[in-house]
A and B are shown apart, each in its own frame.
Chain A
């Protein structure tokens, strides 16, 4: 499961893992039973024993005073997501030069966060938790629930991209059987989300971001009032249905 140190040359295949220092799985729960809706998102350590799942489910239900029906639902949901993660584990993932944009667009209680930044998929030492903590500290976010949400969002996206790269690696392996050369451009295969490095860091451009892109990459933090929160929630529910 541990990825090797990333090779800098294209075409290297690496065992699947979330490209962060700590291999944690983002788990999202969205359970609806008898009109009770329970939504949650957190990070799970896949090396924890499975007994943890039930313990956690029971704890959560007890703390939030949910009907006990939720215990089994929560546990099974967590388990299925973990199983899915584990199914990817043995496979290879394509890891080339890949810098992806990560977008944050989330609302945690009264705080609204919108941001976009670039993330290096090859950096297996990256730490979304640290990023989230620093983010909140720098922007003076007081609500402590924001940081985990940010970390979770980042992880989720990284996970998605990793899954995509596994799929693409599989495709390229299949298609490789026909060709002999390995140097098909990764940009077209690894998904369109990857930023074209040549364009960005080529000798003709500079590292400094262009002015028109400033707005996109600027973090926006809004603290909403209660009415706005209610309005947003109502809108979300309408969208969900």
Chain B
């Protein structure tokens, strides 16, 4: 089944719920035949291909919620189609978006305009339409049958029509033929339904490049000089075979051919991107040329960059930037966060120069912050799954170079679609790193403490030994002193007296000192000498 074709048509027709004024009753394809025949109008493939087109302007936040529609069975005979973004509708309840779109019925300004009346209008209009779903109900039909003032009836009618609850016909198959014609006109060999402008330009890039000098096809990489529009293959470039003399090697820009564009965004690629943004601002064509990748990739990568990086370098956008420069002065992170998020909320609405952001911000304001965030997350995950398998990791590696503040800032509830997801992953990685660091530090400290204790023990042991030695020395000295005393006594007295005294002193020595009995024995021998 031609899945991608209807999706492209779905995009414009899915815009009406987002615009503030309900669009006039538009009948894109007045063909009753297709209504009853075609059952599913938006297969699941829509989600992927719609999300892929983030680079295109006017991305409705409801695009991420597009899933197969459900037919609402009121009668078995005719199937009435309801687009998937209107699946909230139920006869008995009033949904939040109804309250938001038609506040006149819910703000109790007049007791007559109450939710009951609203329900009555809504249900009778829808029932009237579904009674004959093959025929579009006109506003005049509806208001002729409803009691009340025609202004309110008209608003309810427009609301219902805008959301596809009445007069909705799934995009018919003949519409995509127009798209195919357009594609064939642009001349890119796009496969069926791939008529995105971004895609077309990327396909142009993929056409064969011939080297101006050696006329051979460039295989791996080529070098393009924008000054002269020359293309040189790698070999010619290296050899310096420039045709025109005043072109230097730095004027050439390297362009990868190998479908390398899906490779990781290196640091230098990001730098190129940011430089280009500084110079060219919103002109994505020039930026893409500078970086060497397709516009789409540039935009999607840019959007995925961590928040702070984006805006610290983004000089051109006047509204946005003044506040961000202040914020990024590396002051307190909190003030940075709050000023950024506050400005983020205001400036996209005011910044009419950036249609993507204006639309996205307006739509997210309509749909509510939670919805927009969820939609953005889903969009980012789908995008990364579908195309860039490894981009998540590469953005993680970007952050490992120490962009902690941006991660904190980015993760603080901003509604910028893709950075939320990428920055959240980066923040997680950072957390893991921090934990590891802390663990390491703790173990180091413990080791050091243990070493200290061990040292102390060793010192104490040494001290003990020292003490022992000194005690023994003291003992020896004591004995020597005693010996000296004895000799003195011998020399002083005559033989007998000395003998007696010697005996006395010997005895007293024996009583006094139990230890050196050997000394006592020795001394009589020494005396005569």
Residues of A within 8 A of B (CB): 21-22, 24, 42-45, 48, 52, 55-56, 59-60, 62-64, 127, 129, 132-133, 144-145, 147-148, 151
Give the complex CA separation of A151 and B150 in angstroms.
Answer: 13
Select which of B111, B128, B151 is within 8 A of A21 by beta carbon: B111
Instruction: Return the chain A residue nearest B153 by Cβ.
Output: A42
Bound Cα distance from A22 to B141, whole angstroms: 23
Do residues A63 and B139 form an inter-chain contact, with CB atoms below 8 A?
yes
Tell which of A48, A59, A133 has the most Cβ of chain B within 10 Å. A59
Given contacts A63-B139, A63-B140, A63-B141, contact A22 B112 (CB under 8 A): yes
Task: Judge if B350 is at the interface, Cβ distance under 8 Å.
Answer: no
The interface residues of chain B lying within 8 Å CB-to-CB of A45 are 149-152
Knowing A21-B112, A22-B110, A145-B145, say if A63 contacts B150 (CB, 8 Å).
Answer: no
Task: Check A133 against B147 for contact (C-beta < 8 Å).
Answer: yes
Would A56 and B147 be within 8 Å (CB), given that A21-B111, A127-B112, A144-B124 are in contact?
A: no
Q: In whole angstroms, what is the CA distance A145 to B124 when docked?
A: 12
Query: Can you report 15 residue pairs joining A to B where beta carbons are below 8 Å apart?
Result: A21-B112, A22-B112, A22-B149, A42-B143, A43-B148, A60-B140, A62-B25, A63-B139, A63-B140, A132-B147, A144-B145, A144-B146, A145-B144, A148-B144, A148-B146
> What distance in Å separates the Cβ of B454 from its nearest Cβ neighbour in chain A?
89
- Tell me, in angstroms, the Cα distance from A143 to B128 when the chains sit together: 12
Cα-based distance from A152 to B99 in the complex (angstroms): 28
Q: A56-B154, A144-B124 are in contact. Are A24 and B149 (CB under 8 A)?
A: yes
Interface residues on B, range: 20 to 34
Q: How far is the CA of A132 from the CA of B145 in the complex (A)?
A: 12
CB-based contact A52/B147 at 8 Å: no
Other A-B pairs, 5, CB within 8 Å; known A145-B144, A148-B148: A21-B111, A129-B148, A145-B145, A147-B147, A148-B143
- The answer to whether A44 and B149 have CB atoms under 8 Å apart is yes
The smallest C-beta distance from A8 to any residue of chain B, in angstroms, reads: 22
A191–B316 CA distance with the chains assembled, in angstroms: 75
Identify whether the interface residues of A are mostly helix, strand, loop, or mixed: helix
With contact pairs A21-B111, A45-B152 given, residues A148 and B140 touching in the complex (Cβ less than 8 Å): no
Minimum Cβ distance to chain B for residue A141 (Å): 12
CA distance in complex: A238, B336 (Å): 81
Asked if B138 is at the interface (CB within 8 A of a chain A CB), the reply is yes
Assess whether A56 is in contact with B144, with CB atoms less than 8 Å apart. Answer: no
What separation, in Å, do the CA atoms of A166 and B194 have in the docked complex? 70
Cross-chain contact A148 with B110 (CB below 8 angstroms): no
Q: Which residues of B contact A (CB under 8 A)?
A: 24-25, 110-113, 124, 128, 138-141, 143-152, 154
List, in ascending order, chain A residues with CB within 8 A of B146's CB. Answer: 144, 147-148
Q: Which of A55, A59, A64, A148 has a CB less than 8 Å from the CB of B147?
A: A148
Contacts of A22 in B (CB 8 A): 110, 112-113, 149
A48 touches B144 (CB 8 A): no
In contact, B151 and A148 (Cβ under 8 angstroms): no
Contact call A63/B151, Cβ cutoff below 8 A: no
Residues of A within 8 A of B128 (CB): 144
Tell me, in angstroms, the Cα distance from A151 to B149 when the chains sit together. 10
Whether B150 pairs with A56 at a CB distance below 8 angstroms is yes
Residues of A close to B154: CB separation below 8 A: 52, 55-56, 59
Q: How far is the CB of B404 from chain A (nearest CB, A)?
A: 53
Give the CA-CA distance A127 to B143 in the complex, in Å: 18
A151 to B112, CA, bound (A): 14
> How far, in angstroms, from A42 to B111 measured CA to CA in the complex?
21
Chain B residues with CB below 8 A from A52, complex form: 151, 154
A59 and B140 CA atoms in complex are apart in Å by: 8
Residues of A within 8 A of B148 (CB): 43, 129, 148
Q: Whole-angstrom distance from the CB of A32 to the nearest CB of chain B? A: 18
Among B111, B112, B145, max chain A CB count under 10 A is at B112
The 5 A-B pairs with the shortest beta carbon distances in the complex, nearest first, are: A63-B138, A144-B145, A45-B149, A63-B140, A48-B151
The distance in angstroms between the C-alpha atoms of A52 and B140, with both chains bound, is 15
Q: Give Cα A31–Cα B147 distance, bound, in whole angstroms.
A: 23
A48 to B, closest residue via Cβ: B151
Complex CA distance for A55 and B140, rounded to whole angstroms: 12
* B144 and A44 contacting across the interface, CB-CB below 8 Å: no
Q: Is the CB of A44 within 8 A of B150?
A: yes
With CB as the reference atom, state the residue of chain A lying closest to B138. A63
Q: Is the CB of A151 within 8 A of B140?
A: no
Nearest neighbor of B146 in chain A, beta-carbon distance: A148
Closest B residue to A64 by beta carbon equals B140
Q: Which residue of A lies closest to B152 (CB)?
A: A45
User: How many whole Å from A148's CB to the nearest CB in chain B?
Assistant: 5
Among residues of B, the one whose C-beta sits closest to the C-beta of A143 is B145
Min distance, Cβ A21 to any Cβ of chain B, angstroms: 5
Set of chain B residues within 8 Å of A24, measured between Cβ atoms: 149
Residue of B nearest to A125 (CB): B111
| Interface contact A42-B112, CB-CB below 8 Å | no
For B144, list chain A residues within 8 Å (CB).
42, 145, 148
Distance A12 CA – B124 CA, assembled complex (angstroms): 42
Which residues of chain A have C-beta atoms less than 8 A from B124's C-beta? Answer: 144
Give Cα A229 to B330, complex, Å. Answer: 83
When chains A and B are docked, how far (Å) is the Cα of A129 from the Cα of B113? 12
The answer to whether A43 touches B150, judged by C-beta atoms less than 8 angstroms apart, is: yes
Residues in B whose Cβ lies below 8 Å from that of A147 = 145-147
Report the Cα distance A62→B24, complex, angstroms. Answer: 11
What residues of B have a CB within 8 angstroms of the CB of A129 in the complex? 112, 147-148
Complex: A196 Cα to B144 Cα, angstroms: 37
Provide the bound-state CA to CA distance between A48 and B110, in Å.
14
